[in-house]
Amino acid sequence: FIFDVDGTLTPSRGIMDPEFKEFFLDFMKREKCFLVTGSDYPKTVEQVGPEVTENVVCVYNCSGNDIFFKGKRVNCHDFNLHTDVRKFLEGYLQSSPFELRTSNHIEERRGLVNFSIVGRNATQEQRKAYVKHDQQFRERETIAYLINTQWPEIAASVGGETGIDIHARGADKSQILEDFDKDAEIHFFGDAMDPGGNDYPLYAALQQVNTN
């Protein structure tokens, strides 16, 4: 069983519900469970707790670019954001009609960069305001589309409620399947499985495996 975190096991950028956590810990004892998330490891620990992160089979952070086993990093991939892509993001940050800015708009993680107009340090109320704006104008989809069409060597996808994940093409959540037996029965749970969402590459890859 593979689980996304934000919007699946927890509210976006939120903490796992205590009652659900009790159920999930019991479920982990009976089934092989893995986590795959766009967030980094410290944030994942903050959201679900070390009793989850250290007892699932493996935690794939940063969309599978930073891998942890029993709380220790076992593998990672680097990604450097191109100067022209950074300038593009900074330009969009200046021109977006959503006026509220907090901070931490271009967050560099292992193997990917997360971009947010409102900023990663926004409060829940500020995040809700941006979600409403994005639902109306589909701003993140537009930004991701422009990146994907202008820079074919990198990929951008909508992640969480306010962010966009940017990484080398192919370095998305689907890459974790390299660690699984081809005949394994895999059940994946995520909240962004539509095309353009950061769960979609893994969903699509599993659909192809099941079809074949």
Per the document, the length of the chain is: 212
Percent of the chain with pLDDT over 90: 93
pLDDT single digits (tens) 5-36: 999 999 988 999 999 999 999 999 999 999 99
Query: What angle, rounded to 10 degrees, do the helices at 83-95 and 139-150 form?
Result: 150
SS3 25: helix
Per-residue confidence at 212, pLDDT binned at 50, 70, 90? low
Q: How far apart are CA 36 and CA 203, in angstroms?
A: 12
d(CA 29, CA 13): 26
Query: Which residues, at least 6 apart from 104, have a Cβ–Cβ distance to it below 8 Å?
Result: 116, 119, 120, 121
Which residue, 205, 195, 187, is CA-closest to 155?
A: 195
H or E element that contains 133:
helix 124-137
pLDDT tens-place string over residues 85-129: 999 999 999 999 999 999 999 999 999 999 999 999 999 999 999
Distances (CA, A) of 24 to 32, 44, 188: 12, 15, 15
Q: What is the pLDDT of residue 211?
A: 66
| Cα 156 from Cα 141, distance rounded (Å) | 9
Which pair of structure tokens corresponds to residue 196? 């353009």
For residues 124 and 130, the answer to whether their CB atoms sit within 8 Å is no
Inter-residue contact 112 to 165 (CB < 8 Å): yes
- Predicted local confidence at residue 183, as pLDDT: 87
Percentage of the chain beyond pLDDT 70 is: 99
Q: pLDDT averaged over the chain?
A: 95
On the question of pLDDT at 136 being above 80, the answer is yes
pLDDT of 41-63, one tens digit each? 999 999 999 999 999 999 999 99
Across the range 139-156, mean pLDDT stands at: 96
Tell me the average pLDDT across 167-194.
94
Strand partners, 35: 3, 59
CA distance 20 to 26: 10
Interatomic CA distance for residues 35 and 148, integer angstroms:
26
